[in-house]
Each structure stands twice: as C-alpha cells, then as structure tokens.
Amino acid sequence: MQIIPKRSPLAIKKAAATPSAMLIRRTDVLLLMLEADATVSLANMPFGDVLSTERARLPRAAGSVWMAVLPTAHRTRVIVGELPRRTDTFQRLSIAGRMVRDLGATQPGVITLASLTSPNAKGITNTAPVAALLAALAAAVESQPTAKSKVPAPWQPTEVVVCGVIDTTTALAIESGAHLARWLTALPPNVLTPKTYQQALVKLAKLHGWKIEIFSEARLKKLNAGAFTAVARGSATRDAALVRLQYRPKGTGGLAPLALVGKGVCFDTGGNNLKSAKHMLDMHTDMAGSAVALGTLEALTRSRYPRPVDAWLALVENRIGPDAYTQQDIVTAANGTTIQVIHTDAEGRMILADTLALASRTKPCGIIDFATLTGACLYALTERMSGAFTNHSDLRAILEDAGNRSGERVWSFPMPTDFDEDLETPMADVVQCLIDGKGDHIYAAKFLARFVAPGIPWAHIDLSSASRTGGLAHVSRPITGFGVRFAVALCSDPAFHKVIRSHEQAK
Ligand SMILES: [Zn+2]
C-alpha cells in the first residue's frame, strides 16, 4: 500500500455559463444545479422543454436531487440538484455530494457541470454551485487505499466541462490537499508509522520544493521538549519526530511565515490509561490533524499562495511499554513550563505543547493548529462541526466566517481566564487535564495557550469532524479531510491577514 496516493488531475475544459446544445449532445452526464429564484429560466436553456416538463411532473422540493434523460444520441443523463432559496456552502456541497454519489456505477466519460442561477446586482453570475459540483466530483473519483487482492480499475471521467468562470486551479489544489489528508488518515497503523510518514514527507518535500527539517527524539531531548518525549518513549520503535516543512514563494524572504501545526498520533492506545477495544478501534486516525496541516500546505503550494507558510507535524505513537509515561509524572516542556501528568490518553496536548513552543521560537506571524483532541468537543458539536479556540478576540468571527464560506463549519468556544484556576497544582506550573473530563475541550485549549509565545495570534481547531459515519457535506466516505478547505479559506481572507499584520506591527 502506497503512503502517497497516486493522483491524476481531472481533465478540465471550460465553457460558457449556460451549456450549449452542442455541448449537451456530447455530454454523458450533465450535473445541473438549479437555484430556486433563478431568473434565467430552465425553459430558455437547450433541452429546457424536456427538463421543465420533467421538473413539473412531481413536486421537486428544495434540496432534492432528480434525474432526466435527454433525447440525444448519447442519451445524456441530467442530474438536477434543487438549491434552496437561501443556501450556504455546506448545503450546496451536501447537495453536490448527493448528485455525484452514484456516478461510479455507470462511469460516464464526459461530465458537464453547470448551474442556473440569478446574477447578482452587479450582473455577476453566482459560480458557487458549479464550484461545489467540482469539489464533489473530485472527491468522488479520488483513489482510496485498499489491500484487496482484486481492486476494481480506478475510474475517472475523460473530460470535465466546467460552465462559468471558476478558478479551477485553486479548486483542484484544495481537493488535492484534502485527498492527501483523507488518504493518509485512512492508512492502517502498520503502514503509516511515524517512520514511514517521515519518509513520505521527504518525498513530498522534494516534489513541492519545501525545505524539510526533522527533529528526532534525541534532538527533541536536547531541546528540552520533555512533554513530547514523554509520549514518544512508550513506543518500542522509538521513531517519533517533529517535522517542519517550509514553503517559501519567491520574493517573500522578509515575511514571517504562518505556522500550521498538526497532531500526528499514528496510533493511540491511550497509553497506561488504556482505551477499550471499541474506543481504540479507529485510533489510527488520530493523526488527522497532521494530515490536515500537510494537506493545507500542499493546497496552498499548488495554488501558488503568495505568502510563506510552515507546517509543523508532531509524529508519534501513544503506546504502552516499560518506558511509557504515567499519571503523576512531572515533565518539563521546551518553554520551561512544568506539567503534572493526569491521564496518559491526553497525549495530544503533550506533543502539541512542545510543538507550539518550538514553532513560537521561529517567530511566526500566526499559528493555526489542528488536532483530533477531545471527546468533549465531539459531544458538544457532534461530527458535523469542529471546535475553534483562539487567544485573539478578533479572530473568533473570522474563524467562523471561514468555516461558513468553505462549508467546513467551526464553532468558537470561550476561553475565560477563570478556567485557568482549575489547571493550578502545587506540584507543577500546570496540570495536563482534569480527571473528570468535564469541559475538556476548553481546558485542553487553555493548556495549549500556555505554550504559544505571548503576542502571537493563535487558533486551535479541535477536529471533531475528522471522521463521520456516512461522510460529511460533499464527501461520502467516513474520513472527511475536514480542515483543508477551511484553512485555505482562512488564509485567503484579508481580515485574517489584518489581524496577523497588526501583530507584526506591534512587535
Ligand atoms: Zn489519546
């Protein structure tokens, strides 16, 4: 099984916003989004009479998906998604996901993506529905890791015609990054180990022109990263490492990078506080945060993002063993903070503590970390949304806005100062967590905040939506890759950069 997925980009062609009769005639499947109050009526497009008749035959509720066959030589199938009157990105992606779900069964060659929507006040057509279709199609045809002895031949359409003006380079860059994140997260734990992960990162760094720096356990010890190495020493293979990848577009030498940090626990047994079989079953996915940070770096690189970005991936396993750390151990993190260990299954915040401290030393303009960190966040939000936390009040609304625009929704939790009282202990500077688990997502964020150097704007995303039975939005598989679309939307937001710049000026 390969660690890096094979990827062949979709063969994209572009066409006018409304598909022509000639295009429809040579299309096998037309995916068509219909806005409820579209002024360009269905009847005006080629084969509109057939579609209008079919649409009128049964009540077509907003959000529904239906199909019609056109009288072309190809017997062109039209799959129509009915957009609700006030729609958002999550809804659009969800409808697009339902429209593409069964395409694999017939494996069409030429697929056309189009929408009938009303132009806005400036006369600009809304291209968001077609963008949602492109995202859903790319996710539907992507390869998935499997060890089946007979694997069905992979399918890709021969041609994808995108109707309307869409930045397909950025759209496909995001889907490529999300695919990488989903692929890595799905890999079995005996295939993706901290060691093989590092080897794959060396290859990816070469491919993308990233500088790579690997902090081995021995080097982390020298840097006094005692929280990270406490977790690392439970593993018999001792192959844990912190990997820093640097993306530096030309002419940005003087700019401070944005740091993306990811939790990469390749398998989490819980350590000495062992998980039950049911709770340990999917713990190979506990590296999703690192995959999202990496996938985001790849998406930004492929879309030629004009600013420098670092990814800091904390790769480790949380195992049981004679050297494994235990409850009541006291360890010292790289920034000198002493930590009293309360629960060995709270390993994520231990490795992130040192990663945030070491990333802080490089003086980034801002830090965003991604981690499948707490069950409490999952109980609070379910798998439909992820939790957001920040040390900068202006960022709260900006984070939620990026979530809404990308369709990967996040909800901001409070971080009031009085919560810090509960992390006090006479034995050390801070307790790792509370044993009763109440509000653990908030305490985890309060704990992490202590390892971010003062003044650096920081956001922490607790990835409760990294996996979900039945998938999420346009992704139909359980591993969602949630976070890549969100992070790219955040990085392209001028308001986000304003916050970061104000910090740089304050320095
Ligand atoms: Zn754990």
Token code pair at residue 416: 């009031």
Residue 74: the pLDDT is 86
Q: Are 398 and 493 in contact (CB under 8 A)?
A: yes
Please report, in tens digits, the pLDDT of each residue of the chain (507 residues total).
899 998 888 999 999 999 999 999 999 999 999 987 665 578 889 999 999 899 888 878 889 999 999 999 989 999 999 999 889 999 999 999 999 999 999 999 999 999 998 777 776 778 899 999 999 999 999 999 999 999 877 789 999 999 999 999 999 999 999 999 999 999 999 999 999 999 999 999 999 999 999 999 999 999 999 999 999 999 999 999 999 999 999 999 889 999 999 999 999 999 999 999 999 999 999 999 999 999 999 999 999 999 999 999 999 999 999 999 999 999 999 999 999 999 999 999 999 999 999 999 999 999 999 999 999 999 999 999 999 999 999 999 999 999 999 999 999 999 999 999 999 999 999 999 999 999 999 999 999 999 999 999 999 999 999 999 999 999 999 999 999 999 999 999 999 999 988 877 665
Return the H-helix or E-strand segment holding 311. Answer: strand 309-318
* Distance from Cα 286 to the centre of ligand 1, integer Å: 8
**CA separation for the pair 298, 453 (Å, rounded):** 26
Instruction: Return d(Cα 174, Cα 295) in angstroms, integer.
Output: 8
Q: Distance from the CA of 5 to the center of ligand 1, in angstroms?
A: 27
Ligand 1 geometric centre to CA of 316 (Å): 11
5 close to 152: Cβ distance less than 8 angstroms: no
**CA atoms of 395 and 25, how far apart (whole Å):** 49
The CA-atom distances, in angstroms, between 156 and each of 26, 84, 125, 145, 506 are 17, 30, 29, 16, 50
User: Contact 468/285 with Cβ under 8 angstroms?
Assistant: no
Nearest to 381 by CA among 280, 308, 246, 482: 482
pLDDT recorded at residue 40: 57
Query: Rounded to 5 degrees, what are φ and ψ at 390?
Result: -150, 155
d(CA 400, CA 414): 13
In the prediction, which pLDDT does 8 show?
84
Question: Other CB atoms closer than 10 Å to residue 503's CB: what's the count?
Answer: 17
- SS3 call for 120: coil
pLDDT of 267-321, one tens digit each? 999 999 999 999 999 999 999 999 999 999 999 999 999 999 999 999 999 999 9
Given this model, what pLDDT does residue 506 score? 61
- Domain borders along the chain are 12-146+157-165, 173-506
What one-letter code names the amino acid at 398? I
To which residue do tokens 């195992």 refer? 319
Structure tokens at 314: 């904390």
Alpha-carbon gap, residue 345 to 277, rounded angstroms: 14
145: which 2 tokens? 């890791």
* Contacts of residue 144, Cβ cutoff 8 Å, sequence gap at least 6: 182, 183, 186, 477
What is the C-alpha end-to-end distance of the chain, expressed in Å?
Answer: 47
Phi and psi, residue 332, nearest 5°: -115, 125
Q: DSSP letter string over 409-428?
A: -EEEPP--GGGGGGG-BTTB
Within its chain, how far is the Cα of 147 from the centroid? 25
Look at residue 154 in the predicted model and tell me its pLDDT.
78
> What is the Å distance from ligand 1's center to 230 Cα?
13
Determine the distance from the C-alpha atom of residue 293 to the mean position of all C-alpha atoms in its chain, rounded to a whole number.
Answer: 8
Give the single-character DSSP code of 436. Answer: T
Strand order of the sheet with strand 12-15? 12-15, 159-163, 110-116, 29-35, 77-83, 65-69
Which CATH number applies to 173-506: 3.50.50.60, 3.30.1360.70, 3.40.630.10, 3.30.750.24? 3.40.630.10
369/451 Cα distance (integer angstroms): 12
Class in CATH terms, 12-146+157-165: alpha beta
Matching residue, tokens 């003006």: 165
How many alpha carbons lie under 13 Å from residue 451 in its C-beta half-sphere? 31
Three-state SS across 138-155? HHHHCCCCCCCCCCCCCC
CA of 270 to the centre of ligand 1 (A): 5
Distance 269 CA to ligand 1 centre (A): 7
> Tokens at residue 348, please?
């994520």
> How many Å lie between the centroid of ligand 1 and the Cα of residue 350?
10
Its pTM stands at 0.97
Three-class SS state of 15 = strand
| Enzyme catalytic residues | 275, 349
